[in-house]
Chain A
Amino acid sequence: MASVVPVKEKKLMDVKLGELPSWILMRDFTPKGTAGAFQRGYYRYHNKYVNVKRGGVAMVLAAYMLFSYCPCYKELKHQRLCKYH
């Protein structure tokens, strides 16, 4: 094992703040790499919270509700509680 590990192979928590731009640029931005990143993230969440013996999707539904509030915000802006509309 080398005494100085190259930047590319470090995990995000081990990367120093000054090396952050070069670490980000070295990530795999090809379609296959992006898809792999999404897949890894999904399975991390799934195996931690859903795929357990008594797991559930309540958090997913709550996040979906908050996420679907964003497109509605423009129309709902007028429904604030005020004296004159």
Chain B
Amino acid sequence: MNESLFTSFITPTMVGIPIVLLIIMFPSILFPSPSRLIDNRLVSIQQWLVRLTSKQMLSIHSHKGQTWALMLMSLILFIGSTNLLGLLPHSFTPTTQLSMNLGMAIPLWAGTVATGFRYKTKASLAHFLPQGTPFPLIPMLVIIETISLFIQPVALAVRLTANITAGHLLIHLIGGATLTLTSISTITAFITFTVLVLLTILEFAVALIQAYVFTLLVSLYLHDNT
């Protein structure tokens, strides 16, 4: 039981060849680039969604922050599509791997910090000490603020990994329980319902992408534009 629970999270290999790269690149096929003034149904929906999201997300940024628009929109599209594709049966979700999420979180966070330090050095350093702190508390508070700064990328990555992995594990467990309980009735109807409800809630993995990009966004906002 223990061994078979986590085998769905190992990186997939087919006849010894790792196909992880193919699976990571797969969602790009589902976003065709618009070629006409009015495209087909799929592209029109995607265009509308991207416009809606980008307007809502970039409205709070100054001009300098809005240069990150492409990065943020591609980030939310990638994580959203990867998480949603992971809900298909037997598919592999790359965002369950901590390595990949750290690879996304650390460079992006470091970019925001570097931008803040480069263009507004004094303001960035001033973030380490909140306004109005009593004089004796200053050394401790600087240490605490530094720790909270450096924990940001780790928190971003671990949050995404843990949420997606936990959701997948729950689906496996509850689905397995449902199957074994089919010989014993009336409880099974309830548990099948739980699986259904859980799956719907899990589809708010898209909400998790919102959380990801929003957190990144807040960080960028704070570091860049005071």
Spell out A's residues near B (CB within 8 Å). Answer: 46, 50-57, 60-61, 64-65, 68-72, 75, 78
Nearest B residue (CB) for A55: B40
**A72 touching B90 by the CB < 8 A rule?**
yes
Task: Say yes or no: is B37 at the interface (Cβ < 8 Å to chain A).
Answer: no
**B42 touching A65 by the CB < 8 A rule?**
no
In the complex, what distance in Å separates the CA atom of A43 from the CA atom of B161?
A: 35
Which residues of the partner chain A approach B26 to less than 8 Å between Cβ atoms?
64
Min Cβ gap B87→A in Å is 11
CB-defined A-B contacts under 8 Å, sample of 5 = A57-B30, A65-B91, A68-B12, A68-B92, A75-B8
Given contacts A50-B40, A71-B13, are A60 and B7 in contact (CB under 8 A)? no
Interface of A is mostly: helix
**A65 touching B89 by the CB < 8 A rule?**
yes
Which residues in chain B, 142-198, are within 8 Å of chain A measured between CB atoms? none
Which residues in chain B, 102-124, are within 8 Å of chain A measured between CB atoms? none
Pick the residue among B12, B13, B14, B32 that contacts A50 (CB under 8 A). Answer: B32
Interface residues on chain B, number (Cβ under 8 Å):
22
Which residues of the partner chain B approach A71 to less than 8 Å between Cβ atoms?
12-14, 19, 92
Nearest A residue (CB) for B14: A71
Task: Say yes or no: is B24 at the interface (Cβ < 8 Å to chain A).
Answer: no
Given contacts A50-B32, A51-B32, A60-B29, are A69 and B90 in contact (CB under 8 A)? yes
Nearest A residue (CB) for B91: A68
**B85 touching A75 by the CB < 8 A rule?**
no
Nearest A residue (CB) for B31: A57
> Closest 5 interchain pairs by CB?
A71-B12, A68-B91, A75-B7, A69-B90, A68-B90
**B40 touching A54 by the CB < 8 A rule?**
yes
Of B14, B42, B90, the most chain A CB neighbours within 10 A belong to B90
- Chain B, residues 115-143, CB within 8 Å of chain A (1/0): the string is 00000000000000000000000000000
In the complex, what distance in Å separates the CA atom of A34 from the CA atom of B13?
A: 23
Which residues of the partner chain A approach B12 to less than 8 Å between Cβ atoms?
68, 71-72
Nearest A residue (CB) for B36: A51
Which residues of the partner chain B approach A54 to less than 8 Å between Cβ atoms?
40-41
Task: Say yes or no: is B23 at the interface (Cβ < 8 Å to chain A).
Answer: yes
**B40 touching A64 by the CB < 8 A rule?**
no
Nearest B residue (CB) for A81: B179
Min Cβ gap B10→A in Å is 9
**A50 touching B8 by the CB < 8 A rule?**
no
**A60 touching B30 by the CB < 8 A rule?**
yes
